[in-house]
Amino acid sequence: MDWNALYSSAFEGVRGRIGRVDRVLLAYNTNIDAIKYLDGRDLRERVEKVGKDKVLRYSDDLPGRIESVPQLLGSILWSIKRGKAAELFVESCSARFYMKHWGWDELRMGGQVGIMANLLGGVYGVPVIAHVPQLSRLQASLFKDGPIYVPKLEDGKVKLVHPKGFAGDEENCIHYIYEFPRGFRVFNFEAPRENRFIGSADDYNTTLFIRDEFREGFDEITKSSPLTIISGLQALTKENYREPFEIIRGHLDVLNEREIPTHLEFAFTPDETVRKAILGLLGRFWSVGLNEVELASIMKVMGEKKLAEKLLASDPVDPVAVTDAMLKLAEKTWVRRIHFHTYGYYLALTDYRGEFVRNALLFAALAAAAKAKLGEINSIDDVVKAMDVPVNEKIKPIEEVLSKVYGMEDGITELNGYQLTFVPTKIVEKPRSTVGIGDTISSSAFMGEFALR
């Protein structure tokens, strides 16, 4: 299969038709990402200063939330040791103060909504309406120019303005992101792959605070939005999820009534009660996007323990286990589209057919590689700069398995009344940063499908 030729025509196809996507509504999580690229010596000195013994126990067991500086440093070590991402709410003032003084190398737009708003609106030129829980001046300044809007209530009426024109003087919701490259060393730990630990000094996104504009004006806001992407449910806990879930159910009623295709970006949700509650809502979404850890975590709450283990057992992930899990999820919830992404390839299961599903995935993979390579995509023409990143050769055996087991050809096959679609991705050797690549993939693919339909 000449994947490069398919990549190239998928890109041209989406670029030529992107103007057909009218407006995308994005809710709920937007924040500021303060990114610190870790330095091994600095980290070691900090750990020694607060006490190695106090810190190291958290590198074995991640705490539920951060209540002290040793917990913060220990959690960072937990991520490094495993090369795994983790995100925890930072409750303690002293840890928040410590992170602020430690500082950052870069401030970036954060949160699924913020990242997707800048990509879809600021880069692709697709009009978006975004939910921004707190619009501080700093938060507003991180929005790109372009057709990005937030609703503003004036005399009970919804007006759409660019975030920079909102004139809000609200709180800063800062997520401190500690990034490390593959091979990063501290004490006797060595990171098996690049990743990050996130400490969220944020009381709004973490509890899914929903603004009045979205409580009172939702009906009005959705009138002009033919597509929706929802995210930000991941930090809720069994103690606080009920109230926001009530509002979300109300929002889904409106979206379903209007037949607006809605995608859920399923980020890792540590609380099992919340994960089950999300599973219960999934049938009301058109589409869901997730990675292998997230799919495994859903299989766990569906009682599919063996399958969950299989999903985490090999690298690259066994595509037959992924397909089994996607089928189980689709048959349980009736969600129409599942987009799975992992390091090296994507799979989609849809209850509809067509090459456009594959081409949208290819466009997304090119955007992901561009994001990894450049750190930030500034125009749609930046996306094509990733064409020279080679298609992942390690994925050949995965393609062979899919062809042998399911008779897949050119990345497409039929299975139990669904279309199963596969693409091998382009992997950038030394990515600039890992934050936000998943959001780039999911939003580009979902939007891409509707451009190509």
Q: Contact positions toward ligand GLC, by CB under 6 A?
A: 29, 31, 33, 87, 110-112, 115, 175, 198, 200, 267, 435-436, 438-439
Longest dimension (CA), the chain: 63
Tokens at 317, concatenated: 């992930």
Q: Does the protein bind ligand 8BR through residue 372 (CB under 6 A)?
A: yes
Choice between 150 and 365, CB closer to ligand 8BR: 365
Q: Describe the chain by its helix, strand, coil percentages, rounded to 5.
A: 50, 20, 30
What secondary structure letter does DSSP report for 144? Answer: P
Q: How far apart are the first and last CA of the chain?
A: 24
ω into residue 345 within 30 of 0, thus cis?
no
β-strand partners of 151: 160
Query: Pick from 333, 359, 434, 444: which binds ligand 8BR (CB under 6 A)?
Result: 434
Closer to ligand GLC by Cβ: residue 173 or 412? 173
Closer by beta carbon to ligand GLC, 323 or else 440: 440
Separation between Cα atoms, residue 280 and residue 256, nearest integer Å: 15
Peptide bond into 28 cis (omega under 30): yes
When CB distances are held under 5 to 8 angstroms depending on the partner's kind, the choice from ligand 8BR, ligand GLC, none that residue 431 binds is ligand 8BR
Of the candidates 33, 202, 271, 439, the residue annotated as catalytic is 439
Q: Measured between alpha carbons, how far is 207 from 236 in angstroms, rounded to an integer? A: 6
Q: How far apart are CA 328 and CA 246, in angstroms?
A: 27
Cβ atoms within 10 Å of 223's Cβ, excluding its own: 11
The least distance separating ligand GLC from the CB of residue 202, rounded to whole angstroms, comes to 8
Binding track over 279-318 against ligand 8BR, x by CB under 6 A: ------------x-x-------------------------
Residue 381 among the catalytic residues: no
Q: If binding is defined by CB under 6 A, does position 374 make contact with ligand 8BR?
A: no
Return d(Cα 309, Cα 314) in angstroms, integer.
10
Q: Is 368 in the site for ligand 8BR (CB under 6 A)?
A: yes
Residue 342 interacts with ligand 8BR (CB under 6 A): yes or no: yes
Looking at the Cβ atoms of 32 and 380, the one nearer to ligand GLC is 32
Residue selected from 150, 437, 445, 451 as contacting ligand 8BR according to rule CB under 6 A: 437
Is there binding between residue 369 and ligand 8BR (CB under 6 A)?
Answer: yes
The CB-of-87 to ligand GLC minimum distance in angstroms stands at 6
Q: Which of ligand GLC, ligand 8BR, none lies near 348, with the C-beta cut-off 5 to 8 A by kind?
A: none
Two tokens at 129?
A: 């309406």
φ, ψ of residue 130 to 5 degrees: the values are: -120, 145
Which contacts (CB < 8 Å, 24+ apart) does range 404-410 have? 405/320, 406/323, 410/1, 410/6, 410/358
Interaction of residue 86 with ligand 8BR, rule CB under 6 A: yes
Query: Do 306 and 273 form a contact (C-beta atoms < 8 A)?
Result: no
Q: Contact 230/263 with Cβ under 8 angstroms? A: yes
Residue 270 contacts which entry, ligand 8BR, ligand GLC, none (Cβ below 5-8 A, type-dependent): ligand 8BR
* Cβ-based nearer residue to ligand 8BR, 17 or 193: 193
Among 37, 209, 268, 406, binds ligand 8BR (CB under 6 A): 268
Which of ligand 8BR, ligand GLC, none binds 392 (CB below 5-8 Å, type-dependent)? Answer: none
Site residues, ligand 8BR (CB under 6 A): 62, 84-88, 268, 270, 291, 293, 341-343, 368-369, 372, 425, 427-428, 431, 434, 437-438, 441
Give the residue numbers annotated as catalytic, written as ranges.
439
